[in-house]
Chains A and B, each alone.
Chain A
Amino acid sequence: MSDLADKVLRGDVLATARLIRDLDDGIDGAIAELKVLYPQTGKAEVIGVTGAPGVGKSTLVSRMIENFRARGKKVGVIAVDPTSPFSGGAVLGDRIRMQNHFNDPGVFIRSMATRGHLGGLSSSAYEIIKVLDAFGSEVILVETVGVGQDEVEIAGAAQTTVVVLTPGMGDEIQNLKAGILEIADVLVVNKADREGAQVTVQGLRRLLEMGGFDRKGWHPPICLTVGTDGTGIPDLIKAVDQHREFWNRQKAQPGFEHKRREEDFLRILQGQAVNKLIVSLRRNGCLEEIVARITRGESDPYSESEKVLKLGDYARNE
């Protein structure tokens, strides 16, 4: 029954890949494996890397893998690319930048498609982080899709969020004020050999000085990097390490762990509750009836939604 989970815990690559696939495809039974894995999770350091398309996230991730491998850490990578809203298909190309690590048994790379999920990750990403954690990855790098301003989900999944920018985004930095810049624990100006890198750094510094919300004493460092030749990567890793130490101190504060577990639980409950309700509504033909009533003008979607939640019986017929 929990055959797959046992193999994942023993570091079996095939089983791990398969469980990830099952979770991504929403296969019944995959959740049962997660129950077995759950007590073994929470050990990995999860680092998110996010930023607009083309800023160099994959190249930076590849450099970071190199660095963590040099320290002897087992590394897991989740690289998310968008799913076409029209065909449902996707081309996942982040791996191209990570070729150097394909034959390293200490590196497990998985490309994911968003599959319609908004927020910068795939809906299964949280669970897949847990699988890689249980598999034995000591560092898990999560690369989001190329994001705009509001895809801040990564901050909830990672302990350290690295936000990557490039020179020449000067004016746009203003737009980044709310949302993505707020979630940055570490800021990176990549392609720093290009003109305008210092201007970008100054712009970021000014924004950070404005403050705005409580970072609990953490001041996001700004790192200059050139992903293609590795310049600045040690500084970036140092910044990530420092944030990790800060995070560990926060973790020791009362209520911190409680809040994290609560968020995780509510996210899972929300997903499962909505799925279960919709599946059972469809199965019983109730959905048809409800929509027909609304279409005929006999009812409205708000009242019908309330009724469904009040009954709750739909879900109990499982």
Chain B
Amino acid sequence: MAERKIRILMAKPGLDGHDRGVKVVARALRDAGFEVIYTGLHQTPEMIANAAVQEGVDAVGLSVLSGAHNTLFPAVIEALKQKGASSVTVFGGGIIPEEDMTFLRNKGVMAVFTPGTSTEEIISFVRGNIKSVH
């Protein structure tokens, strides 16, 4: 049996237009040997869930710098669930205050990375926690 290649969708939900961070992470994950699908700015949770399903990904990484993470992260998780893809791991990053972490984890976000996180840290999270859901 051949080995599964891990596929990750990197997405920017909502209205903020800052995509430098998500591109750096996408590039780092590529260099770590993962297949990364990047869909660009201004995605609605439904667009992200549709892309995740069609692309057959194992995880979705969300980047939000606008402060709307408490709305957007759970909305993506809900959209995935509605499309029958609740086994897809969701993680995220952005300017996220400490006090929101527990809320997001309870909503099903597996990990949250804040500014200053090294790409190595994110890679080792993916290596250790993302298994093929297929």
A residues with CB within 8 A of B: 13-14, 17-18, 20-22, 24-28, 83-84, 86-93, 95-96, 99, 102-103, 108-111, 113, 115
Q: Taking the complex as formed, is B34 at the interface, i.e. its CB lies under 8 A from any CB of chain A?
A: yes
Q: Once the chains are docked, how many angstroms separate the CA of A88 from the CA of B4?
A: 12
Q: Which residues of A contact B83 (CB under 8 A)?
A: 13-14
Contact A25 B2 (CB under 8 A): yes
CA distance A89 to B50 in the complex (A): 23
B26, B30, B37, B56: the one within 8 Å of A20 (CB): B56
Residue of B nearest to A100 (CB): B47
Contact with A along B30-58 (1 / 0, CB 8 A): 11111111111001101100110111100
In the complex, what distance in Å separates the CA atom of A282 from the CA atom of B80? 41
User: Known interface pairs A14-B53, A14-B85, A102-B50. Does A93 touch B38 (Cβ–Cβ under 8 Å)?
Assistant: yes
Report B's interface with A, CB cutoff 8 A. 1-5, 7, 26-27, 29-40, 43-44, 46-47, 50-51, 53-56, 83-85, 134
**Do B31 and A89 have beta carbons less than 8 Å apart?**
yes
- Chain B residues near A93 (CB, 8 Å)? 37-38
List, in ascending order, chain B residues with CB within 8 A of A111's CB.
37, 55
Give the 10 A-B CB pairs with smallest separation, nearest first.
A26-B2, A96-B40, A89-B30, A21-B56, A102-B47, A17-B56, A88-B33, A89-B33, A92-B37, A87-B33
Specify which of B1, B27, B38, B50 is in contact with A28 (CB 8 Å cutoff).
Answer: B1
The residue that A87 contacts in the complex, of B31, B43, B53, B54, with Cβ under 8 A, is B31
CB–CB A99/B38 < 8 A: no
Q: A25-B4, A99-B39, A102-B47 are in contact. Are A91 and B33 (CB under 8 A)?
A: no
Determine the distance from Cα of A88 to Cα of B113 in the docked complex, in whole angstroms. Answer: 25
Q: A207 to B117: give the CA distance in the assembly, Å.
A: 55
Among B2, B34, B36, B37, the one with the most A-chain Cβ atoms within 10 Å of its Cβ is B37
Name the residue in A14, A84, A91, A103 with the highest tally of chain B Cβ atoms < 10 Å from its Cβ: A91
8 A-B contact pairs sorted by A residue (CB < 8 Å): A13-B83, A14-B53, A24-B5, A27-B1, A89-B35, A102-B46, A103-B44, A103-B46
CB distance B39 to A25 under 8 Å?
A: no
- Write the nearest CB–CB distance from A124 to chain B, whole angstroms: 11
**Does the CB pair A90–B35 fall under 8 Å?**
yes
Q: Given the complex, which residues of A lie within 8 Å of B47, measured CB to CB?
A: 99, 102-103
